Chains A and B, each alone.
Chain A
Amino acid sequence: MATLGSCAQRGGVSFWLTALLMNLTVYPLLALWTLFGLLTLPLTLPLLRLVSGWSAQRTMRYLIWVYGQGWLLIMRPFVRFETEGLDPEKLHAPAILVVNHLSFFDTYCMALLPCFDVNFAVRSWPFRMIFYGFVMRRAGYLDVESMNWREALAAGRRVLEQPALQLFFPEGHRSRDGRLQRFYSGAFRLAKETGTKVIPLCLTGTDTLLPPGRLWLCPARVRLQALEPVDPAEFPGENGHVEMRKAVKERMRRHLEGGGERRC
């Protein structure tokens, strides 16, 4: 059953009814929530800016985080969300977050973070989506595919100086088999250039919820765990970013595969 994937291999009648209910309710509610956000944005954005005194980017990131809270609320009857190590002290800006990539919904799961001022590094195609593109540009998200390295570095540096959290999916694409793919260097070059700590985030379960190439949602347990920060000063030299990239990836791999450490 091509559209159901691994979901088809699970559970009995009650599980199937839950999954059916999930698919019948989540998509319409998500569409309504998105439409509500879109229609109220011309009001909420300037009003919140006025009340908070925040910059336009920070205000938009807050509204994105609120949108994410709505997504969590819609999903909660069907998805068990678990977090570990998401300590606000640990996730204090400036910092670079790197997270493994399994599903379209991974970005939504960042609403589990205890902080809202998170700037995403994104490929070019989401910027071409009508609503999302507008919102992402207003939030100051980095279009890392269109920028050259100097532009990306300058933009990333500005985000960290605000200070905010800069988030990367270093694999660049969703994993098709749940395993970590090759990491791009951008996040680690930025960390080295700016002397900013990198916090690895391990995400599991979203590939059950909505794997790549599927539309059928499946009840799941989603877990987001923050590992200990990695200091770029531990990786000196011209190729320090490569060593840092390898060390962070290895640490994430050990956790995701449960190789002697707690599975996340």
Chain B
Amino acid sequence: MTDQEIIERINASLAEEFELDRADMVPEATIYEDLGLDSLDTVDMVIVLEAAFKFKIREETAIREIRTLGDIHNFVIGKYRRQDGAA
């Protein structure tokens, strides 16, 4: 899966779960201010990403550093590549 395909899958999953407008889903969009998500959504976000990519991320400390949609893209791409390399 290419980086662009991963990004597309992330965006599609998040848009579906959180009723987001795809036009707002630019990498620099902040999760809380620009996309309008909140602390209740972070739990759902982890579940959605785990379901979309079939890996566990809820224990990862790096997830707490995520501020923007681009951070999510980079985090998931990194995780996917590490998992892909280990397989």
* Complex interface: chain B residues within 8 A of A189 (CB): 47
Establish whether residues B40 and A182, one from each chain, have CB atoms under 8 Å apart when the complex forms.
Answer: no
Establish whether residues A182 and B44, one from each chain, have CB atoms under 8 Å apart when the complex forms.
Answer: no
Contact A149:B51 (CB < 8 A) given known A182-B19, A184-B40: no
* Complex interface: chain B residues within 8 A of A149 (CB): 43-44, 46-47
Q: How many Å from the CB of B24 to the closest CB on chain A?
A: 13
Interface residues of B (CB under 8 A from A): 16-19, 36, 38-41, 43-44, 46-47, 51, 58
Cβ of A5 under 8 Å from chain B: no
Cβ of A40 under 8 Å from chain B: no
Establish whether residues A238 and B51, one from each chain, have CB atoms under 8 Å apart when the complex forms.
Answer: yes
* Complex interface: chain B residues within 8 A of A144 (CB): 40
Interface residues of A (CB under 8 A from B): 123, 144-145, 148-149, 152, 172, 182-186, 189, 238-239, 242
Listed A/B pairs (15) with beta-carbon separation below 8 Å: A123-B40, A144-B40, A145-B39, A149-B43, A149-B44, A149-B46, A172-B38, A172-B40, A182-B18, A184-B40, A184-B44, A186-B44, A189-B47, A238-B51, A242-B16
Establish whether residues B44 and A185, one from each chain, have CB atoms under 8 Å apart when the complex forms.
Answer: yes
* Complex interface: chain A residues within 8 A of B39 (CB): 145
Establish whether residues B18 and A239, one from each chain, have CB atoms under 8 Å apart when the complex forms.
Answer: no
CA distance A47 to B58 in the complex (A): 44
Establish whether residues A148 and B40, one from each chain, have CB atoms under 8 Å apart when the complex forms.
Answer: no
Q: Closest residue of chain B to A173, judged by CB?
A: B38
- Residue from B16, B41, B46, B51 in contact with A184 in the complex, judged by beta carbons closer than 8 Å: B41
Q: How many Å from the CB of A96 to the closest CB on chain B?
A: 17
Q: Closest residue of chain B to A150, judged by CB?
A: B58
Q: How many Å from the CB of A128 to the closest CB on chain B?
A: 15
Q: How many Å from the CB of B8 to the closest CB on chain A?
A: 16
CA distance A238 to B47 in the complex (A): 11
